[in-house]
Amino acid sequence: MKKREFKLSTIIIFFVCIVVILSLLITDLLISRTINENIRGNLEEKAKIISRTVAHSTIVQKGLLDRERAAEIQDYSKDIQHAADVSFIVVMDMQGIRKSHPNPEQIGKPFIGGDEEKVLSGKESISVSEGTLGKSLRAFSPIFNEKGNQIGAVAVGISLNSVETALDQGHENILIGSIIGILVGIIGAFIMAKYIKKTLFGLEPITIAKILEERNTMLQSVHEGIIAVNKDSTIALVNKSAVKIFNKAGLPSNMIGKQVQDYLPQTRLERVLESGEAELDDEQVINGVSILVNRVPLIVNNEVVGAISTFRDKTEVNLLAEQLTGVKTYADALRAQSHEFKNNLHVILGLVKMGYYTKLKEYIKDLVSHQEDEVTSVTKRIKDPVLAGFVMGKLSFAREANVEMTMECHTIIPEPKDTSITHDIITILGNFIDNAVDSMASSAEKELLVELSYQEELLEVIITDTGVGISREKLDDIFMKGYSSKGQKRGYGLYLVNQSIKKLGGNLHVESKRNLGTTFRVEIPYRGKEKND
C-alpha cells in the first residue's frame, strides 16, 4: 500500500498548531496557577486589612467595653461590609459571642467554625471554614484596649464562591487568549507555507527529495570528475570519479567543507568566482597526475553563487584519442586503398581486354612486390603498431592525392615506454603531412619525404615537401591558434603541433623558400621500451 504523502502546507500548519497548542496549554497551566495564587493572596490581604481596620476602630473597642454602646458595633460593621464588598464582618468578645453579624438574629450567639481559637489567644490567622453563611475565606484579627489587653476579635469573611468566580474569570481570559493564539498560529503557518512553497518554485518536499536524489545519482554516475564550490570557495560537492582521481594523486578523500585553495592550491576556481568567466580545455597537473579541466561559474539572477569544475585524467583522454585516431587512420587507409585498388583493377581489366597477358603478369607481380615491400619496410622499422598503422594510412592517403611520399627510417624506432607520447607524435606527423599535401596541390612536382631517426633517447622527425613554401613574414604566425590561409574555422593543426612539441620539451625548426618547398625539423625526448619491459 502506497504511503500517503502530505502537502507542505498541511505539514507546516499541523506542526505549528501542535507547537502553539502545547505552548499555550503549558502557559495556561503555569499562568492559571500563578493567577490562582495571586487572586487568593489578594483576597486574603484584603480580608486581613479590613479585619485590622475594624480591630483598631474606637467604635468597636468602646462597644465591647460598654454594653450600652454595643449596638454601634453592628452599624459600623455593616457599613464597612458594604463599602469593602465582603461577605461578613463579625465582631466577637473573648467568649466568642457575636456582637455583629450580617444576619441580626445571629448576634449574641457563639461564633461558628471552630477556627476562632487562635485569634482569641491574641494571634492573627487566615483560614477557610464553613459557618452560617457557607464556606468562606476568613481573616481574624485580635482587638486590644488602650492598655494592651485583648477584649475581643474580629473576623472578616469572603465567600469562596467569589474566589472561584474570580479564578474562573481569569481562566476564561487565558482561554480566550489561547484560542486567539491558535488562530493566529494557523494563519501564520498558512502564510509561511505559501511563502516557502513559492521560494521552492511550487515544489513539494517529496518532489524536491526525488530531484535531489536523481541529481546525486547522475553526478555520481558521470565518468568525469566533478567538484563544485560555493561563493565562499568552500567545497560543496565532489563525485566518485573526482575522488578516484584525487586518490590517484595522493590527496585525502574527506574534502567536503574545506577551502578549495587549501585542498587544491593549483586550482583556478577562485579566479572563475571572481571573473565570472568560464575556462575550458585547460591542462592541470596535480601531484604528477595530468588532467584536462573545464571550469564554469554558477550564475543565479546575474550573481555568481559558485563554480563547478569538470575534469578527466589526461591519460584516459589520450588513450581515447589514440583509439579515435587509429579508427580514423584505418578508415582513411581503407578508403585510399580502395580507391587505389580500383585504379589497379581498371589497369588489369584493360590489359585483359587487349590480351596483354605477359604484361598483366608483370604488372600484378610488381604490384604485389611493391605492397609487400612497403608494409615490410614500415613494420620492420617502426615497432609501435599504432604509429606504424598511422604511417601506412598516410602513405595511401598521399598516393590518393597523387603525392609521391617516401618514408625513411634511418634507425629502428622502438615502442615508447610511455604510451601517451604516441598520441602527440601522431598529432605532429599527421598535421605536418596533411599541410604538406595541401601545399603541393598546385605544384608540378609533388614529392614528400618523411624521415625518422632515434638516437640517445631523442627522436628526430624531418618532413620535406616541394610545395609553394611559406613567406618569411608568415613563419611566425603559422603556429598561432586560429591562423590559416585556407579560410575560416581552420588554423588549429599547427597550433596543436606546437603545443605537443612544447609539452614534450622538444624543439622545432622551419626552413622554407617560396615555390621551392618547406622543411620541418622536430626533435623530441623519446625513451624507448626496453626488451624486458
Residue 58 pLDDT class (50, 70, 90 cuts): confident
For residues 510-524, average pLDDT: 89
| CA-based R_g, the chain, Å | 54
Nearest Cα residue to 508 out of 460, 445, 437 = 460
Contacts with 458 (C-beta within 8 Å, 6 or more apart), sequence order: 523, 524, 525, 526
- Phi and psi dihedrals of 300, rounded to 5? -130, 125
CA–CA distance, 508 with 461 (Å, rounded to integer): 10
What pLDDT shows up at residue 376?
66
8-26 confidence digits (pLDDT tens) = 677 777 787 787 778 777 7
What pLDDT shows up at residue 451?
92
Q: Do you know the residue count of the chain?
A: 533
Residue 160 pLDDT class (50, 70, 90 cuts): confident
Q: Do domains 10-166 and 224-313 have the same CATH topology?
A: yes
Q: What is the DSSP string of 262-278?
A: HH-TT--HHHHHHH---
Task: Please name the residue ranges forming H helices in 440-509.
Answer: 493-504
CB count, 10 Å around CB of 411?
A: 12
Contact indicator for 510, 470 with CB cutoff of 8 Å: yes
- CA dihedral of 235, 241, 243, 249, whole degrees rounded to 10: -120
User: Is residue 516 pLDDT above 80, yes or no?
Assistant: yes
521-531 confidence digits (pLDDT tens) = 999 999 888 76
166-188 confidence digits (pLDDT tens) = 667 766 777 787 788 778 877 88
What pLDDT shows up at residue 507?
92
CATH topology of domain 10-166: Beta-Lactamase (3.30.450)
| Cell numbers for 31 | 499562568
What pLDDT shows up at residue 12?
75
Output b/e per residue, 285-312; b: 16+ Cβ within 10 A. Answer: ebeebbbbbebbbbeeeeebebbbbbbb
CA–CA distance, 21 with 25 (Å, rounded to integer): 6
What pLDDT shows up at residue 454?
92
Contacts with 126 (C-beta within 8 Å, 6 or more apart), sequence order: 44, 47, 48, 137, 138, 139, 140
Q: Looking at 43-47, 183-187, 431-435, which range is the least confident one?
A: 183-187
What pLDDT shows up at residue 305?
85
What pLDDT shows up at residue 316?
63
Architecture of domain 356-525: 2-Layer Sandwich (3.30)
Contact indicator for 380, 408 with CB cutoff of 8 Å: no
Residue 1 pLDDT class (50, 70, 90 cuts): very low
CA–CA distance, 505 with 47 (Å, rounded to integer): 107
What pLDDT shows up at residue 521?
93
CA–CA distance, 64 with 71 (Å, rounded to integer): 10
User: Is residue 39 pLDDT above 80, yes or no?
Assistant: no
Q: Looking at 151-155, 447-451, 486-490, which range is the least confident one?
A: 486-490
What pLDDT shows up at residue 214?
73
CB count, 10 Å around CB of 29?
A: 11
- Phi and psi dihedrals of 283, rounded to 5? -100, 135
Higher pLDDT, 344 or 368: 344
What pLDDT shows up at residue 357?
72
213-225 confidence digits (pLDDT tens) = 777 777 777 778 8
117-159 confidence digits (pLDDT tens) = 888 888 888 888 776 666 778 899 999 988 888 889 999 988 7
| Percent of all residues in the chain with a pLDDT value above 70, rounded to a whole number | 84
Q: Does domain 224-313 have CATH number 1.10.3710.10?
A: no
Residue 461 pLDDT class (50, 70, 90 cuts): very high
Write the burial class of residue 318 (CB in 10 Å: 0-12 exposed, 13-18 middle, 19+ buried): buried
Contact indicator for 272, 279 with CB cutoff of 8 Å: yes
Residue 482 pLDDT class (50, 70, 90 cuts): low
For residues 314-325, average pLDDT: 58
Annotated domain spans of the chain: 10-166, 224-313, 356-525
For Cα atoms 31, 37, 38, give the angle at the middle one, nearest 5 degrees.
Answer: 85
Helix/strand number for the chain, H first, E second? 14, 14
What pLDDT shows up at residue 488?
45
